[in-house]
A and B are shown apart, each in its own frame.
Chain A
C-alpha cells in the first residue's frame, strides 16, 4: 500500500482488479484457482441469536442435555446415516486432495461420529477403511464410478452442482494427474482434465427419478440417496429433487470451495448460502417433507455459530470443506516461508489447482503429501468438529433448546436489510422482514 495519502485507489479498479487485467493481458487465459467466493457477501455473520430471557427458559451450559445427533435418509426405507453431530465433511476428490488428506478427513469424521464424502475420482481404499460413515458421490464425470463401491457406501450423493460453480464441470490440471489419479479416472497421465457439467445418461427431473430408482435397484434399496445442488434456484431444485425421490437434499452456497475453477465463475455464479437456505426450506415445507427429507447445507460454515444459524434456518445438518482443510493445516502460518516462495502467504493461499501445496493437502507430489500425517490430521479435524458441535450446543442451550435441531428462525434476527430479506428473519430491534 502506498504511504502517500494523495494517491487515491479506485474502488472500481482496485489493486486486485488491476493485477488481474495485467495477468490476463500477459497470459491470454482465464485465471483458475481454488477456494470459494472471496468477495464480501451477506452471510451468517449478519445474523444474531436472541438468547433466552423472560419469555424463554435457557438450559444450563455443560449440564443440561442438548442433543446433536441426526439421521439422514430414512424416508424410503433405507438404513439412514446416523450422525452424532450435525456436521459432515463435504465431498472432495482424491486427485484434488492427496490420499493422506482424504484418509485424515475420514479418520477425523469417524472420531467425531460423523460422515465424510468421496468426490470426483472415485473411492480410495484408504478412505473407505478409515471412514465409518462414507457418502459416495455419483458425479457427471463418473470417474472411478464402480457399482461395487456404490454398494460399499453408506449413502449415495448424486451431484448436480457445486456452490462454487453451479452449471459448471470440474477441472483437474495436469500437475495433479499422477499415475494413480490417472489410472482411477481412466485418463492419460498429466493432461488438464475437464469434468463434464451434465450427467452422461440423464437430463432433467423426470430422468433423475428413473436414475434414483436405478441406484436403488442396484443397491437393493439399502442405502439413502442424496441429491446435491449448487445454490442458484434452490426452491425449484429442492422441489424437483424431492419429487424425483431424493432422501436428502444437499445445498451448497456460493461460498462453497473448489479445488480448481475459473475465478470469474467462482465470484459471479450462484447465490450466497444465506439466501439459499430459506428457499430450500420453503420448498420442503410446502411439500410437507421438512425434516422428513433432510437438508444438508454447505458453503462458508466456519464456526459453531454458523452451524447453529444454518440449523435455525431449517437445515438438518451442515457440511464443511474449506474449514476442514484449514483444520488439517492449510494456510498455516508455520508455512509462511514456503507460501512466500509460491508468491502467496498464509491466509491467502488458494492455488489448489497447482499441486504445489506445502501443507501436503491439495497436491499429489509424493514429497509434499508425505508431510501430512493422516493420524495427526484426523485428530485435528476431530478436534475442530468437536468445537463446532460444542459451540452450536452452547447457543442452543442459551436459546432453551434440548436439541440443536430445535433451533428455529424465531431465535434469529438480522443486522442488515439484505440479510433480513435473504434469511427471512426480522431486522434486529424491529418486527420487519423485508419482502415478507
Chain B
C-alpha cells in the first residue's frame, strides 16, 4: 500500500487485453492511469485486486464490468453496461453513461456525475447507484435489491416490475412502471440517502427526494394481475 508510482498504460499503443491482464496480475495498492481509450470496450473489467484505476477519456461497453475490488474512475463518458455485475468497490464516471448502467450489480457504489440512458440499475442485486443527472426509461427494471439515487429526472416506467430495491428521485418522474409506487420517506430512508449522497460527493439535501419501491402485487401469479 501507499505506492507512489503510477503505472501508465496507453491503449492507443497496447489494447485492452494488455491492460486487463496487467490489472488482473496487479499487486494490491498499485495505481494505474489509462490513456487514449478512444471508446474501447471492456476497459478495466474483472478487477480482483485492491487497485486504483483512472481512465482518461471515453470508454465503450462494459467498462469496469464485474468489478470486485478497488476503484475505477472514468474521466469521460461510458457506453452500455458500465460496472455491470459489480460485486464491490467503487466505479465513478465523470460524464454521461449509456444504457444498463450497473446492470445486475451485487455490491459497491457506482457514481455517475452526468446522466444515464435507459435501464439504469436493471436487475440490480444489492449495489448502490448515484446519478447526478437524469435517467432514461425503465430505470430499475426488475431491481431486486440495492439503492438507486437520481438527482435529476426519471424517464418513463421507473421501477417496472421492481422487487426489493429502493429508488430515490429528486426531480420529476415521467411515469411509474408496473408494480412500482411512491412510498413515504421515513427517517431511516433520509439517513441512508444522506449517506449515499455523501459517499458520492453530492451536495443535494435528502429532503428534496421522493422514494419509490415495489407494491409487491406481482410477487405471486394471480388472475387479477395485469401483466
A28 within 8 A of B: yes
Bitwise, A186-216 to B at CB < 8 A (1) or not (0) is 1110011010100011100001001101100
A367 within 8 A of B: no
Q: What are 19 residue pairs bridging A and B, where the CB atoms are less than 8 Å apart in the complex?
A: A27-B223, A29-B223, A145-B104, A174-B219, A186-B106, A187-B163, A191-B219, A200-B100, A200-B103, A200-B122, A201-B81, A202-B100, A207-B61, A213-B42, A214-B41, A214-B61, A218-B46, A218-B65, A220-B20
Given A186-B144, A207-B80, A218-B65, also A201-B46 (CB < 8 A):
no
Q: Which of A145, A186, A187 has the most CB atoms of chain B within a 10 A radius of its CB?
A: A186
Interface residues of B (CB under 8 A from A): 16-17, 20-21, 24, 41-42, 45-46, 48, 60-62, 65-66, 68, 80-81, 84-85, 87, 100, 103-104, 106, 119, 122-123, 125-126, 141-142, 144-145, 161, 163-164, 219-223
Q: Point out the residues of chain A lying under 8 angstroms from B122, CB to CB.
A: 200-201
Among candidates B16, B46, B123, residue contacting A141 with C-beta atoms closer than 8 Å: B123
Asked if B81 and A202 make an inter-chain contact with CB atoms under 8 angstroms apart, the answer reads yes
Asked if A147 and B68 make an inter-chain contact with CB atoms under 8 angstroms apart, the answer reads yes
Closest Cβ–Cβ distance, residue B19 to chain A (whole Å): 9
A217 within 8 A of B: yes
Interface residues of A (CB under 8 A from B): 27-29, 32, 141-142, 145-148, 150, 173-174, 185-188, 191-192, 194, 196, 200-202, 207, 210-211, 213-214, 217-220
Q: Point out the residues of chain B lying under 8 angstroms from A145, CB to CB.
A: 85, 104
- The CA of A145 and the CA of B124, in the complex, are separated in Å by 12
**Interface SS, A side:** loop
Given A145-B104, A210-B62, also A174-B41 (CB < 8 A):
no
Asked if A200 and B45 make an inter-chain contact with CB atoms under 8 angstroms apart, the answer reads no
Q: Point out the residues of chain A lying under 8 angstroms from B62, CB to CB.
A: 201, 210-211, 214
Q: Point out the residues of chain B lying under 8 angstroms from A202, CB to CB.
A: 61, 80-81, 100
Closest to A218 in B: B46
- The CA of A271 and the CA of B86, in the complex, are separated in Å by 37
Q: Point out the residues of chain B lying under 8 angstroms from A207, CB to CB.
A: 61, 80
The count of A-to-B residue pairs whose CB atoms sit within 8 angstroms is 101
- The CA of A148 and the CA of B66, in the complex, are separated in Å by 10
Q: Point out the residues of chain A lying under 8 angstroms from B125, CB to CB.
A: 142, 186
- The CA of A218 and the CA of B48, in the complex, are separated in Å by 10
- The CA of A213 and the CA of B100, in the complex, are separated in Å by 18
Q: Point out the residues of chain A lying under 8 angstroms from B142, CB to CB.
A: 194, 196
- The CA of A406 and the CA of B100, in the complex, are separated in Å by 46
Closest Cβ–Cβ distance, residue B21 to chain A (whole Å): 7
Asked if A201 and B100 make an inter-chain contact with CB atoms under 8 angstroms apart, the answer reads yes
Closest Cβ–Cβ distance, residue A151 to chain B (whole Å): 8
Q: Point out the residues of chain A lying under 8 angstroms from B222, CB to CB.
A: 29
Contacts beyond the supplied A145-B85, A207-B80: 5 A-B pairs with Cβ under 8 Å: A147-B87, A185-B144, A186-B106, A201-B104, A210-B61
Q: Point out the residues of chain B lying under 8 angstroms from A32, CB to CB.
A: 221
Closest Cβ–Cβ distance, residue B32 to chain A (whole Å): 15
Asked if A173 and B45 make an inter-chain contact with CB atoms under 8 angstroms apart, the answer reads no
- The CA of A141 and the CA of B144, in the complex, are separated in Å by 11
Closest Cβ–Cβ distance, residue B138 to chain A (whole Å): 11
